Structure 1
Amino acid sequence: MNIPSHFRSRRLRAALAAALTAGLLATSCATRDLAVGTGDDAGQGTEDGGGVSTESVPVADSYPGLPDALAQQRVQWSQCEAPTPLQGEGPRPFQLSDRTPWQCGTLTVPLDYADPEGETIDMALIRVVSSAPEADRLGSLVFNFGGPGGSGVGSLPLLVDEYEDLRAGGFDLVSFDPRGVGESAPVVCLSDEEIDEGDQEDAGPPRTAEDEAEFVADSEEYAAACQANSGDLLPYVTTNNTARDMDLLRHALGDERLNYFGISYGTELGAVYAHLFPENVGRTVLDAVVDPNPDPVAQSLLDAEGFQLALEHYLEDCATDPGCPTGGDVETGVATIETLLDDLAAEPLPTDDPDGRMLTSGLGMTGIASALYSEESWEYLTMALDEALNAGSGDTLLLLADFYNGRDSEGRYSNLMPALNAIRCADDPSTMALDDVVRHREEFEAASPVFGEWMLWGLSGCLGWPFAEAAEPEEFSAPDAAAPLLLVATTGDPATPYEGAARMQAAIGGPEVAPLLTNDGEGHGAYTPDNACVADAVNGHLLRGETPGDGLRCE
């Protein structure tokens, strides 16, 4: 097991507090009820979307290279159903507090853009229209919340309050399930029961020749399951193809340019879009910027250092409390967590999970990593560690791991993890031989005593994958983009470390094309209404085209 470097959906921040304060291990379904916008008449939406037109604005008659059946699409918007388990489960989103309804639809796209007359797939969409007067409307703002593998249809209703200023300012807020994700031709590998079984058998990262052989066998078995269940789809779930889907979405929405807000992996997707369609780039924000470095060892080491830094910042803060379960200083805290994970590998902790699951070393590590994505989650990490270290219970760490892994209250998994693996391996299926991986062990342990070993084995993440070469490498250069792409990076970001943003800026075309806003703080992603400095800069860029100069810092 490894920590995916750009995996994190921002749902944890929206749901965690409610889950833990509503009674230990409250269901994820209940937490979503608090996050989805509802008015006094929630549940009273109509089939036509509450009086809003079910058809998008007219579009041009053609789209280069596509048959008329695809080029002349108009999105048929209608009332949303509840998110499916593959999208993350939860209640149906009806309407916001101002009675604006949620609307859902589909966009048909080619499976293979090199064969546009061939097989097609449907992409799931969601939107909520702007509350601004018609004269002030700015078109659509399309979101990708990260992963790869995160469902935009499931995520946007949970996070909509963070973007209310943008909706009020003139944008329809739109998101989608990228190809291979959620309900857009989902990649499926293992059953829910098989995923649980694998997690329960986890005894930590490989440390012996026998462990390594088992790791290889498990990886090859997983790849074979993905091929058996999703084989025809796997070569086509690339970031390049998703960027092409976004441009067809722009066309179907009737927008001359794509206005876009990408977070985490969504920044990678946005940069690829800018490379492929520079003339169609509209007002764009890339928050929690991915490192474009193609060297997997260098990138994984940076990720390990990022998580270690975030953990040490948490431990430093915890140590100021006399009751901190990890001790009074960072060094003691790191050692305590290392010992905890080693102990879990030898003897998992019991939980109150209705399916009888124990807290294994891998689930414990995942739970810890999950809480590091937001400083707001640190109090829950303290609760979870106190519970594990002093009460002998793994309940809260298991809850944190379940949020991270996309497991709902009924034991059903979203397809975030199989989609993540499939998209990463479609973009770059090359994998490092086992002997080469082992040679980097000391580097990774030095980079992160807690997370390094786990991340080390991610270097073999595509072991056994059914194809060996990417159909089309990603490129990020967009010096002729029609509008600047505002990059936002946080100095304490664990999942997309700050250093990578400068490399992405250079890859896109430099500070004039991609100015960088630095957020001095913690967590994965900087834009929230509570961060006035970042919000003012981003809102000015998106709503008024007032792009801040390179080098702005928010503290």
Structure 2
Amino acid sequence: MRRVLAAALAATTMTAGCVSTAEPASDGSPETTAPRIAWGPCTDIERPDGEPPARQDPNVRCGKLSVPLDYSDPGGEQLQLAMIKIPAADRSARIGSLLFNFGGPGASGVDTLDQAAKALSSLRARYDLISFDPRGVERSSGVRCGTGADLDAFTALNTLPPGEETRRAIDAANREFAELCRRDSGKILPYVGTVNAARDMDRMRAALGDEKLHYVGMSYGTQLGAVYATQFPGNVGRMVLDAPLDPSVSFEERTLAQTRGFQDVYESFLKACVKERCEVGNTVKRADENVEKLLNDLAAKPLKVGKRELTQGLASTGVASALYSEVTWPFLETALGQALKGQGGALLYLADTYTGRAEDGTFSTQMTSFPAITCVDSAERPDEATLRRTEEAALEISPLFGSEGSGGLCGVWPAAGDDEAKRVDATGSAPIVVVGGKNDPATPFEWAPRLTEQLGTATLITYEGEGHGAYLSGSQCVTRLVDAYLLDGKLPRQGATCPAA
């Protein structure tokens, strides 16, 4: 889990395309007014679950917006950002546009909004729902690093047993991966950070014709929203930040907090499993021992799954993937039960959903955009002593999830980083709503009050349930409070708390 544990939201495995490009001014000269988006029909393949994509609806539109590669040279080379729009159902009561970022960093907003459209029907009634692939993600000059086979090797790398041999293998893999990213995407790597993505969002606001930016950010999207509110406080409309990151934490602090979060949720999963007949074991202790033995066995001898293999690294990724939502715990139980009997297909499927691997062996940019954005968002480059201290402390917390975190890969990353995206202060902005979950494995609750305080204009809702993200968790309480703000401008009371769904 050393490479992917910190990812906040698994990318979808769907690959798709949008048509339409940004239009120049009518005389062909560069734009001198607000940027424009030329919306047109979307083109797509069918979703893996067989359901027709929302964007097959003729009312759903796709488009692209031109933004500078380098904002210090606004007239220079341009990037094309892919966007999607699901128009408001009640045009007479339309509030405006509502922009979403669903997390990552590296998840495709175009794909995720497509899949989440039904769950957002209350908001669609009065908003045009908008999302996008941020710079460096998928259709927006997505960061690419080698072939599918290269990524298969990288994601399959074992993280057990802890020790010098495993560390050397991981270090070599990190260096090789970073070199592939430099070779294949070197030009864009310095420019994919959150500060530039926030600038892009203000161009979207202007292109959409909105005076204020109404926004919902989830997971990494909370950092993006917070940075936007810091840069453009006067342009903030109704903003909700769900499953918040604390952008000020170091790589070491982030790694230890997330390791603790995943271990806590893993233990909750085991307790829930053994309340009834559990395929993993009949007690928490026995179930934990069985999983530990499974992973150690896989480190020595992977399970064959067709033409592929379930390694310990992939199995650990699969376990983490299913801990993001309580809804997937039953599937995790089944997957672990089957793997204990020598059948690794279900656990491998969970790993693939996390890493963005499709059945044909291609990958989304989740695994490549994530480190690209993470590493340029920080000037921190941990030395060997810091990495070993982090790893040892994390392994004390959790033998299953303990790692050196993202610091090892960022230490060899081919683009420099800076700390501008770590500084948050939204003084002067409209009120912002932050939603933090008490049992969120990927963005531990402790980060929610911290981000709320840093923003200076925010109100916190506490959700007491399980899972990563509260708004789409099924909690009617959270939905009611968030919708009341987004639709009617009604702020939740200070100290608002929602019970587990």
Answer whether TM exceeds 0.5 for this pair.
Answer: yes
Contact 1:145–1:264 (CA under 8 A) maintained in structure 2: yes
Match of 1:72 in 2: 34
Match of 1:495 in 2: 442
User: What are the superposed Cα offsets for residues 321-369 of structure 1, whole Å, 9 maximum, x if unpaired?
Assistant: 13x13323333333322221111100111223xxx11100010000000
2:339 equivalent to 1:388: yes
| Alignment match of 1:133 (pick from 75, 84, 91) | 91
| Aligned equivalents of 1:361, 1:7: Cα separation in 2 | 21
Tell me by how many angstroms 1:298 deviates.
Answer: 1.6
Contact 2:190–2:416 (CA under 8 A) maintained in structure 1: no
Tell me by how many angstroms 1:457 deviates.
Answer: 4.4
| Alignment match of 1:122 (pick from 80, 83, 87) | 80
Q: Give me the identity figure in percent.
A: 41
Match of 1:149 in 2: 106
| Aligned equivalents of 1:236, 1:384: Cα separation in 2 | 40
Going from structure 1 to structure 2, the CA distance change for 1:153 and 1:176 (only over 3 Å counts) comes to same
Match of 1:427 in 2: 377
| Alignment match of 2:236 (pick from 281, 286, 292) | 281
- In structure 2, the residue corresponding to 1:78 is in which secondary structure? coil
- In structure 2, the residue corresponding to 1:174 is in which secondary structure? strand
Tell me by how many angstroms 1:531 deviates.
Answer: 1.7
Contact 2:434–2:461 (CA under 8 A) maintained in structure 1: yes
Tell me by how many angstroms 1:443 deviates.
Answer: 1.6
Match of 2:60 in 1: 102
Return the TM-score normalized by structure 2.
0.92
Going from structure 1 to structure 2, the CA distance change for 1:265 and 1:101 (only over 3 Å counts) comes to same
Match of 1:41 in 2: none
Match of 2:415 in 1: 467
- In structure 1, the residue corresponding to 2:214 is in which secondary structure? strand
Contact 2:376–2:416 (CA under 8 A) maintained in structure 1: no
2:329 equivalent to 1:378: yes
| Aligned equivalents of 2:55, 2:418: Cα separation in 1 | 42
- In structure 1, the residue corresponding to 2:98 is in which secondary structure? strand
Size of the aligned set, in residue pairs, is 493
Match of 1:544 in 2: 488
Going from structure 1 to structure 2, the CA distance change for 1:343 and 1:311 (only over 3 Å counts) comes to same
Match of 2:366 in 1: 416
| Aligned equivalents of 1:329, 1:428: Cα separation in 2 | 43
| Aligned equivalents of 1:529, 1:446: Cα separation in 2 | 31
Tell me by how many angstroms 1:216 deviates.
Answer: 2.1
| Aligned equivalents of 2:193, 2:49: Cα separation in 1 | 25
User: Following superposition of structure 1 onto structure 2, how do residues 77-92 of structure 1 map, counting pairs within 5 Å?
Assistant: 77-82=39-44
- In structure 2, the residue corresponding to 1:272 is in which secondary structure? helix
User: Following superposition of structure 1 onto structure 2, how do residues 163-202 of structure 1 map, counting pairs within 5 Å?
Assistant: 163-168=120-125, 170-200=126-156, 202=157
Going from structure 1 to structure 2, the CA distance change for 1:450 and 1:262 (only over 3 Å counts) comes to same
Return the TM-score normalized by structure 1.
0.84
| Aligned equivalents of 1:381, 1:70: Cα separation in 2 | 54
User: Following superposition of structure 1 onto structure 2, how do residues 26-45 of structure 1 map, counting pairs within 5 Å?
Assistant: none
2:172 equivalent to 1:224: no
| Aligned equivalents of 1:460, 1:275: Cα separation in 2 | 29
User: What are the superposed Cα offsets for residues 2-32 of structure 1, whole Å, 9 maximum, x if unpaired?
Assistant: 3332431475xxxxxxxxxxxxxxxx66xx9
Deviates more, 1:284-293 or 1:119-128: 284-293
Going from structure 1 to structure 2, the CA distance change for 1:95 and 1:266 (only over 3 Å counts) comes to closer
Tell me by how many angstroms 1:411 deviates.
Answer: 1.4
- In structure 1, the residue corresponding to 2:196 is in which secondary structure? helix
- In structure 2, the residue corresponding to 1:497 is in which secondary structure? coil
Tell me by how many angstroms 1:405 deviates.
Answer: 0.5
Tell me by how many angstroms 1:471 deviates.
Answer: 7.5
- In structure 1, the residue corresponding to 2:422 is in which secondary structure? coil
| Aligned equivalents of 2:54, 2:462: Cα separation in 1 | 36
Amino acid in structure 1 at the alignment position of 2:185: S
Match of 2:53 in 1: 93
Contact 2:247–2:421 (CA under 8 A) maintained in structure 1: no
- In structure 1, the residue corresponding to 2:130 is in which secondary structure? strand
| Aligned equivalents of 2:382, 2:46: Cα separation in 1 | 36
User: Following superposition of structure 1 onto structure 2, how do residues 436-451 of structure 1 map, counting pairs within 5 Å?
Assistant: 436-451=386-401
Amino acid in structure 2 at the alignment position of 1:73: P
Contact 1:307–1:495 (CA under 8 A) maintained in structure 2: yes
Match of 1:526 in 2: 470
| Aligned equivalents of 2:215, 2:221: Cα separation in 1 | 9
| Alignment match of 1:160 (pick from 109, 117, 134) | 117
Amino acid in structure 1 at the alignment position of 2:99: V
Match of 1:251 in 2: 206
Contact 2:356–2:366 (CA under 8 A) maintained in structure 1: yes
Q: Report the RMSD for the aligned CA atoms in angstroms.
A: 2.7
Deviates more, 1:289-298 or 1:278-287: 289-298
| Aligned equivalents of 2:100, 2:110: Cα separation in 1 | 10
Tell me by how many angstroms 1:71 deviates.
Answer: 4.0
User: What are the superposed Cα offsets for residues 14-57 of structure 1, whole Å, 9 maximum, x if unpaired?
Assistant: xxxxxxxxxxxxxx66xx99xxxxxxxxxxxxx99xxxxx999x
| Aligned equivalents of 1:464, 1:89: Cα separation in 2 | 38
| Aligned equivalents of 2:41, 2:35: Cα separation in 1 | 19
Tell me by how many angstroms 1:534 deviates.
Answer: 0.6
2:8 equivalent to 1:3: no
Deviates more, 1:1-10 or 1:178-187: 1-10
| Aligned equivalents of 1:113, 1:221: Cα separation in 2 | 30
Going from structure 1 to structure 2, the CA distance change for 1:71 and 1:423 (only over 3 Å counts) comes to farther
- In structure 1, the residue corresponding to 2:332 is in which secondary structure? helix
Going from structure 1 to structure 2, the CA distance change for 1:471 and 1:539 (only over 3 Å counts) comes to closer
User: What are the superposed Cα offsets for residues 238-269 of structure 1, whole Å, 9 maximum, x if unpaired?
Assistant: 10000000000000000000000100000010
